[in-house]
Every structure is written in C-alpha cells, then in structure tokens.
A and B are shown apart, each in its own frame.
Chain A
Amino acid sequence: MTRCWRLNMHELSICQALIEQVESIARENEALAVKTIWVQVGPLSGAEIPLLEHAYPVAAAGSVAEDAELILEHMPVKVRCRSCGGESEAAPNRLVCGQCGDYHTDLISGDEMLLARLELDKLTH
C-alpha cells in the first residue's frame, strides 16, 4: 500500500487521541509519569504499525507520556465460520474459513486499535 506524507497525518491524529486518553487516565490515577503504553493493533484497523511508531514521539512530546515506551502488539487476523463454526487465521484480504472455505465468516480478531494497558509511576502512600 503506498502511503504519502498526507496519510501520515492519519497515524498522527490516532497518536494524539492515544495521548489524550493516556493523560486522562494518568490524571485519574494521580500518576507522576507514564512508563509503558501497550497498544493492540490489527492489520484491519486501518492504521499502519510503522507509521504509528513514527508518529508517536511527535504526539507524546511535552505530555505525561513523554518518556514512556510504546509497545505495539500485532493482533492476528482470525475468523469464525458461520457454516462450520471453525475458527482459523486468515489473510487480511482473504477472510474465508480455513476449514471449509466458506466466505460467510465473522472477524473475531484483527481490526483492533486499542489502548490495552498502562504502567504508571506513582507515589507510594
């Protein structure tokens, strides 16, 4: 897939949304800093992992997550078949059942773009 500079704006806006969520959670938990951010991304989310990695430091600069490590977990594409009930891994552009070949499937993993977990630095009470 070709990506031009314009499309990088896409990942930047996603990283900005991420930082907003991280800041609000850090505030709720009275954290001093954010150490680690775990994000789950599937290939069908529409976001590209290398571009997210690229955009992240720009979005994080000056925030409570400035020095945080971003860990991007790649989620596999998996489908569940409506005909045979089988679950199988699939390619992003071939969401057919790996067992019986039917295309009547539901995606059970692969389109995620989630903030999964945060590790925070806190004052001990």
Chain B
Amino acid sequence: MCDTCGCNITHGNAHLVTNDGKLAQTEDGKSAVTVLKNLLSENDHQAAHNREHFDRRNILAINLMSSPGAGKTALLEATIDALGDQIGIAVIEGDLETENDAERIRGKGVSAIQISTGSACHLDAHMVHDALHHMDLDGIDVVFIENVGNLVCPASFDLGQHRNITLLSVTEGDDKPAKYPVMFRAADLVLLTKCDLLDVLDDFEPARAEHYLRHLASEAPLFNIAARRSIDIDEWTDWLINEINAQRDRAERHETLRPNIQPEGAALHTASAHEHEHGQHHHDHGHDHKHS
C-alpha cells in the first residue's frame, strides 16, 4: 500500500484539480486560483488505497454506523454465531475509550483490532489503514469496521469500505432518516434493530421509517432484525453471503465498488452547478453508483 506518495489527488477528482490552475494575475500583485477540490481529498486518497488492500485479497469491507447503542456489536456477535464456521470474519472496532467491544468479539473467537479514537467523533481512512497493518488477513472473507456511535460525522468519511450499513434501533423513533439525512443517504443497507421490542413500543412503524428513507432518494433495502433474540436473521445473513460472493467476483475482474455515497460526486455536482461561471468544465454528471 502506498504510504509515501503524499499526493492527495484522487482518481475521481483529478480532472477537476487545476494543477495548471488558472492563475489570473492582477497588477497589484494579487492573483486568484480556482481549485475546486474536495476538502476531504486527502482522506479519500487514503481510502482508495485501503480499498485496493481489500480488493487484492478479495475481501469485502463493511462500515457499520449508528447512534450509540443501536446494536452494532450485538449484530456482529449474532453474525459470528450464525456464519462463523462458514466464512472468515475480522473486525476493526472504533471505540471512544474502552476495549469492551473488541473483547466481546474476541470472546467469540474472532480477531478484533481496537482503534482507540479518544476524543474523535468518527473513524477516518488513516486510522483504518494503521489498523490494517496490525491484522492478519489470511483466510478472511469480510472485514467489519464498527464506526463510532454517532449519526452525524461518520457518514462524511470514506474508510475504504465497499458497503455502508446504517442501523436504526426501534427505540430511537421512526423519523430518524428525516432527522439525519446525510447518514441515511449514505446507507447501502438499513437494518432496523431490536425488533423484538416493537410489541412494547407505542408508535414505531417500520413502514414509516422506510417512507422517510425513500424520501432521501434511497433505494437501499431495509431489513428488520433482532440480534439479541432468536428471531431469525436469515434476510441479513443471505444479503451478507451474497455481497461476499459479489466482491469475490468483482475482485477477480479487477473491479471495485464504492459505498453508496461517492465523495467525488460532490465535485461533479459543483462543476455542473457552476458551468455558467467557469465555462470550461465538461463532465459526465451521471451517477455511477453500482447496485448489484
């Protein structure tokens, strides 16, 4: 993996970065440079390298995001119980202060690396890169990255994953997609968790949660699960197995997949919105989100 090239131009935004930047010199010594560069391009560059790292080993990488306590670690435990003897699983845990989640995973016989995020509110691609260097990925089919419990920040940072999963526990209210559009727009799959509690809650309507999700122009599937109860999680495990196989096929074809939200999409949009001002941009604005 490239650690040293120091360049922060991604494949996606390279055409926008005016290396030969339009430099309009004025007589008083001031000059203006048009840049149009994503503020997180340094992170995106590292994320692309992380993705190559996974792709070279045919590994599927999944980023799990939710508010604190929605059941990310419980989902991982249930997944290991259901599939641990069929597939190789490894986990990267982002936790503010403790090793608790990593220890829960290790208790199931699966290797887990803890990223101590300290006061950080999200994981970034550099932290994941460091973690990858401490992991033995032989025989691994899927790496789960459990992000910091937070419905705001993690959505903006590409880590090098192929898929984003957002968990919404039914005790949080069914209008969360409307309140946190950035997070829910980023999801390739939404899991409604703790569904065993639906009976005792007055007003959580899974259909309403889906309605709000669709209003974010999202076509992500939405499954009901209850990781802590013996309600079956086949819909989820089938999805996962299917994604692992799809990743293997893609990697063999030397193709890759970015999660639902593509950071350089922003750059394309701006170029389109400002065509009349800058005049010189001609891009294909079609979204290239691959949904297999």
Contact = CB atoms under 8 A, between A and B. Distances in A.
Given A10-B152, A104-B219, 4 more contacts: A7-B153, A93-B177, A118-B35, A122-B25
Contacts, number: 157
A119 B40 CA distance: 21
Given A109-B270, A111-B269, A115-B35, A14 B40 contact: yes
A116 B36 contact: yes
A124 B269 CA distance: 35
4 tightest A-B contacts by CB?
A46-B156, A95-B217, A93-B181, A46-B182
Interface of B is mostly: mixed
A45 B273 CA distance: 16
A1 B152 contact: yes
B120 A113 contact: no
Contacts of B269: 107-112
A23 B249 CA distance: 42
Interface string A87-112: 00000111110000001111111111
Contacts of A122: 25, 29-31
B27 A10 contact: no
6 contacts: A13-B120, A13-B124, A106-B287, A109-B270, A112-B269, A122-B31
A17 B217 CA distance: 30
B208 interface: no
B153 A46 contact: yes
B32 A120 contact: yes
Given A93-B177, A111-B266, A21 B35 contact: yes
A9 B182 CA distance: 18
A58 interface: no
B273 A47 contact: no
Given A75-B273, A93-B178, A119-B30, A20 B156 contact: no
Contacts of B215: 93-96, 103
A14 B23 contact: no
A83 B214 CA distance: 15
Contacts of B261: 111
A111 B31 CA distance: 28
Contact of B273 (A1, A9, A17, A78): A78
A95 B216 contact: yes
B53 interface: no
Interface in B206-264: 212, 214-217, 219, 261
